[in-house]
Structure 1
Amino acid sequence: MPIAPGSPPDIIRSHLDLKPGAYVIRWQVLAVDGHITRGDVPFTVTGP
């Protein structure tokens, strides 16, 4: 996924041509102590 120039380091901006439907973003981070945290962000795209 391309990242927009000039975006703050904690925000990723991108233009994706998603078709209408249900999607899930799955994320994972690794802390300095080795602890892994995971999560899901479900969302829906609606069309005209």
Structure 2
Amino acid sequence: MFWATQITILKLILWLPQHILFRNGTFYHFLPFYVASPINLEVSLQCLHQF
């Protein structure tokens, strides 16, 4: 359950901004998403590491 939730969250973090990006064509508006993605990925990996 925990793994499935993590993977789903990661998919949303990584893929959702790209979907919005390509539809609207506004890169700078969603730039924070791209900055946040590696950070969230790092945090998720650290959380998984503790289990």
TM-score tier (shorter): under 0.3
Which of 1 and 2 has higher RCO (CA within 8 Å, sep 6+)? 2
**TM-score normalised by structure 1 residue count:** 0.23
Higher CA-based Rg: 1
Structure with a larger share of its residues in helix: 2
Scaled by the length of structure 2, the TM-score of the pair is: 0.23
More strand by share: 1
